[in-house]
Amino acid sequence: MNSFFARKFVVQGIFIAIIAILLARLFYIQVISDEYILSAENNVIRRLPIYPARGVILDRYEKILVQNEPVYDLMVIPREVKAFDTLEFCKLIGIDKAGFDRRFKKARNYSPYKASIFEKQLSVQIYASFQEKLTNFPGFFVQNRTVRRYPDSIAAHFLGYIGEVNQKVIEKSNGFYSQGDYHGITGIEKSYEELLRGQRGVQNLMVDALNRPKGNYAGGKYDTVAVSGEHMMSSLDKDLQKFGEQLMQNKIGSIVAIEPSTGEILSFVSSPGYDPNLMVGRQRGNNYMALLNDKYKPMFVRPIQAEYPPGSIFKVVNALVAQQFGLINENTYFFCPGGYRYGRRGYMGCTHVHGSVNLKSSITESCNTYYGYTYSRMIDFAGMRPVNAFKKWRNAVSSFGIGTALGIDLPGERNGLLPTDELYTKRFKNDRWGSAYTISLSIGQGELGITPLQMANVMAIVANRGFFYKPHLIKAIGDKKVIKEEYLKKNNAGIDSKYFDVVIDGMSAVVNQPSGTAWYSKIIDIEMCGKTGTVQNPHGKDHSVFVAFAPRDNPKIAIAVVVENAGFGATWSAPIASLMVEKYIKKTISRPQAYVDRLLQANLLPGAVGNSPSVKKPVTDSTSNNTKKPNKANRVISNNE
């Protein structure tokens, strides 16, 4: 009996305790806390995200490259929509009835109860006229946001563009993004997305039966403030970038200019380009498809994605590597009879009969024969098996940042091409091949592929006499102007500084002496050191290439210019680089206007008429093989094959 009563009191105690807990919780919810009121009153409260302004992007002198402007997304809650004049509605926002039906069906399929975007990015003008009649359209409301605007319409490939997130991006963001958010898709917008995007806020608005806002709920107690994204100071010189894009108008190619002492990229031109404003607004989708289908591929980021045989500019690298190996020096002479013979019947033509040539003049006059002999010394006479000598040579070349992505702060950079010994061993079915099998590498042809960024970086190495800083496009981040540590680190190219003087002497003569291949690109009062290249193109006319740095002492700029299908490097690329260098250092151009107009007005697109230069034809530096084909075992490996 006592046991029965004991169990009875225990059960009663448990029920009393549960009831007490429930009453206490109910009291807390209804009296003390009002956190559930918002959920209970969803029918009169609208919870709106507050989209932050993305960080502004500036040039190196803090001039605006990208800013924000207000737009308005038209939102709809399908279950709240009542009958209204759809024709008037369509007219106000610029759509047709079929478009209305399609949008409304999509919103209803998403959720009859949740708000979704009906029409994106209404302009200020459309919103102004629509707002006056918003109460006539129950279930619809407007949400503010900002979009990008590019006041100078330049640097599209560098800046990139933003777009709405898809489901895959939402899932990978671990809850950060939701439907209707925007993120960076290309360029700096993508690379620095986490810093540029900022942090969303939330606003809780009271609305009446007519869908009209009646102020903040609970005085804004539950609102959160949006945090704007960090602004970015880029390394670009806006005026130089604009000038470069003008020079490359109606041409296919690239300009990359670097400040050697920092690795900061001063100009990043990919041509043909496009107006970045085309990737903003309600016509973005149509514009994107038109650009995507353009035969000249304006969305291809040529400075970091195009790979070209470097041609004669690669002689600079081979000259430095061979000196470092102790196989040539400034007093090394080779005789040039107009070409280089190798193997049993192999022959590589030269631009001229140069006679006795030393290292300096081999650069100045771009002698192919000199580098045939130099390459042979590095591969065949290095005191080791040729295949091992090739590995040593390849490792030295890779220290210049060739064959590997440099790690620029842009997505999509390619490695370039630097062939391995395994490639040739597989091709020739044994590892007993020597320089005759890969002789095209001596003059920058064959299997080599170098991006314009890598070309400019090689010039930065020469300008610095043996080292470089990682090329980058963002100079500083935020109000504190933070610089990434990786951009402050010196990267050694593995060449002693004493070996650069003779090469730089030759490069200076290329531009500043009448015997040089770029004599017509000389700049008054600035000693520019450069190297021309005419690169074989198996699909058409040769590519025009020029690399340089200036001034010779305390260099301020290193540059690479590639103009596809344009022929001699001295004819097109060198003059363009010369003007860019003068513009950056002097901030003005002293050359005759006719000199500038020739470059600005030239149309070098494939198939264009009237591309012939109007100046005296300069000394050429053609690296076209002009080869007589050897027997099968000694074939020249080149882009023509």
Q: What CATH number has the domain bearing residue 170?
A: 3.90.1310.10
At 626, is the pLDDT very low, low, confident or very high (cuts 50, 70, 90)? very low
DSSP, res 274: -
Percent of the chain with pLDDT strictly greater than 90: 66
Sign of the C-alpha dihedral computed for residues 291, 296, 300 and 301 taken in this order:
negative
pLDDT for the residue numbered 154: 96
The residue to which tokens 């690109």 are assigned: 521
Q: Verify that 222 and 328 share a domain, yes or no.
A: no
Mean confidence (pLDDT) of the chain: 88
Pairing outcome for strands 346-349 and 201-207: unpaired
Q: Which residues fall within 8 angstroms of residue 490, CB to CB, at 6 or more apart?
A: 467, 468, 469
- Predicted structure pTM score: 0.85
Contacts of 220 (CB under 8 A, 6+ apart): 203, 204
pLDDT tens-digit readout, 321-335: 999 999 999 999 999
Is residue 320 pLDDT above 90, yes or no?
A: yes
In a domain, 272, yes or no: no
The CA distance from 551 to 557, in Å, is 8
Q: Which residues contact 92 (CB under 8 A, 6 or more apart)?
A: 126, 129, 130, 133
Question: Do residue 214 and residue 255 come from a single domain?
Answer: no
Strand partners, 467: 492
Does 230 share its domain with 363?
Answer: no
pLDDT at 326: 97
The CATH number assigned to the domain holding 430 equals 3.40.710.10
Question: Which tokens go with 515?
Answer: 């015997």
**Could you tell me if 167 and 256 lie in one domain?**
no
Are residues 349 and 211 part of one domain?
Answer: no
Orientation of helix 86-93 relative to helix 97-110, angle to 10°: 100
Mean pLDDT of 164-190: 90
Shared domain for 489 and 469, answered yes or no, is yes
Strand partners, 558: 258, 549
Q: What pLDDT does 30 receive? A: 64
Please name the residues in contact with 3: beta carbons below 8 A apart, sequence gap of 6 or more: none
- Give the mean model confidence (pLDDT) for residues 436-446: 95
The verdict on residue 503 lying in a domain is yes
Work out whether strand 232-234 and strand 57-58 pair parallel, antiparallel, or are unpaired: parallel
* Mean pLDDT, rounded, for 248-256: 97
Residue 31, in any domain of the structure: no
Residue 633: name the closest of 448, 439, 441 by CA: 439
Range of the domain at 376: 246-261+302-634
Q: Tell me, yes or no, whether 360 and 213 share the same domain.
A: no
Same domain for 336 and 201: no
The mean pLDDT of 600-613, rounded to a whole number, is: 74
State how far the Cα of 446 lies from the Cα of 439, in Å rounded to an integer.
8
Q: Would you say the C-alpha torsion 169, 175, 180, 186 has a positive or negative sign?
A: negative
Tokens at 291, concatenated: 């650009």
10 pLDDT band, cuts 50/70/90, is confident
Q: Are residues 224 and 369 in the same domain?
A: no
Number of domains in the chain: 2
Same domain, 183 and 254: no
pLDDT in tens, 416-435: 999 999 999 999 999 999 99
Report whether 529 contacts 552 (CB < 8 A). Answer: yes
Q: Which pLDDT belongs to residue 264?
A: 98
Task: Give CA–CA dist 79/50, Å, rounded.
Answer: 24
In a domain, 614, yes or no: yes
pLDDT of residue 50: 84
Q: Does residue 618 carry a pLDDT above 90?
A: no
Report, as an integer, the average pLDDT of 186-197: 95
Q: Which residues contact residue 387 at a Cβ distance below 8 angstroms, ignoring those fewer than 6 apart?
A: 421, 425, 431, 432, 433
380 closest CA partner among 393, 389, 392, 371: 389
Q: Mark whether 251 and 218 lie in a shared domain.
A: no
In the predicted model, is pLDDT for residue 571 greater than 80? yes
DSSP, res 260: T
Tokens, residue 187: 């360029």
Specify the DSSP element, H or E, that contains 318.
helix 314-324
Q: Are residues 255 and 188 in the same domain?
A: no
The predicted pLDDT at position 29 comes to: 66
Instruction: Give dist(CA 635, CA 439) in Å, integer.
Output: 9
pLDDT reading at 26 higher than 90: no
